[in-house]
């Protein structure tokens, strides 16, 4: 049974407040109405479209990043607690995939996770010393990848950051990054990356 317009819009507002990155398609499915109806509801409630909501939240986070400039962030950071955790969103588009299969190239998922691991470091300098990566499911064009970083250990000039990336509730990537901060080993930048791919 469909809800009344007033009740639907009230619940729509609450849903977006709790999950600001929900899509119109997901909302339409949730409320059993068309995408067009959701868009009209948003307009009446003065709720901006998803892209504008992401940009609004992301801009606040960019001001907090210390270890890399804005144009080097892959994806859009929507939550950042330095030396604790961070979340970014990457919409997979045609330029991210193999043209013949529509499957995302692995280096885009790595770049999203790696830049998030750098961004979460509360320091002017953060370098990737080592990473162990697992690709657990192919990602397709049109899907949205949500990467979640968590700092698990800080010891001297090393910080361990674990990143898990999801499409919906399904994990598609996980990585463990060892980061160097504010110190170079013998004056040299260390960059040894080890890869392991599962399910490819």
Please tell me the class of the 5-47 domain: mainly alpha
CB count within 10 Å of CB 84 equals 11
Which CATH number does the domain 59-197 belong to among 3.40.50.300, 3.40.50.261, 3.40.50.20, 3.10.129.10?
A: 3.10.129.10
What is the value of pTM for the model shown? Answer: 0.68
End-to-end CA distance of the chain: 43
Fold matches, 5-47 and 59-197? no
**pLDDT at position 160, please?**
96
**pLDDT at position 193, please?**
45
Dump the DSSP string for 9-22: HHHHHHHHHH-TT-
Is residue 165 within 8 A of residue 145, CB to CB? The reply is yes
- Residue 2's Cβ-side half-sphere holds a number of Cα atoms within 13 Å equal to 10
- Considering Cα of 200, then 193, then 179, then 154, what sign does the dihedral take? positive
CB count within 10 Å of CB 185 equals 11
Low-confidence residues of the chain, pLDDT below 70? 1-2, 54-71, 183-200
- Domain borders along the chain are 5-47, 59-197
**pLDDT at position 19, please?**
78
**pLDDT at position 125, please?**
82
**pLDDT at position 167, please?**
93
Burial class (CB in 10 A: 0-12, 13-18, 19+), 138: middle
């Amino acid at each position: 049974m469909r809800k009344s317009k007033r009740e639907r819009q009230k619940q729509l507002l609450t849903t977006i407040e709790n999950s600001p990155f929900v899509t119109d398609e997901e909302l339409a499915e949730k409320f059993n109405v068309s995408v067009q109806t959701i868009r009209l509801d948003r307009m009446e409630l003065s709720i901006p479209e998803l892209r504008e909501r992401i940009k609004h939240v992301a801009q606040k986070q960019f001001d907090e990043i210390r270890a890399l400039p804005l144009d080097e962030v892959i994806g859009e950071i929507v939550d950042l607690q330095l030396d604790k955790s961070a979340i970014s969103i990457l919409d997979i588009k045609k330029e991210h995939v193999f043209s013949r299969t529509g499957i995302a190239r692995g280096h885009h998922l790595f770049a999203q996770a790696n830049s998030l691991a750098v961004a979460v470091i509360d320091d002017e300098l953060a370098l990737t010393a080592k990473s162990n990566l697992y690709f657990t499911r192919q990602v397709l064009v049109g899907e949205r990848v949500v990467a979640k970083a968590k700092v698990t250990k800080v010891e001297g000039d090393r910080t361990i950051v674990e990143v898990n990336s999801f499409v919906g509730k399904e994990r598609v990537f996980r990585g463990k990054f060892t980061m160097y901060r504010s110190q170079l080993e013998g004056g040299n930048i260390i960059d040894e990356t080890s890869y392991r791919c599962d399910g490819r």
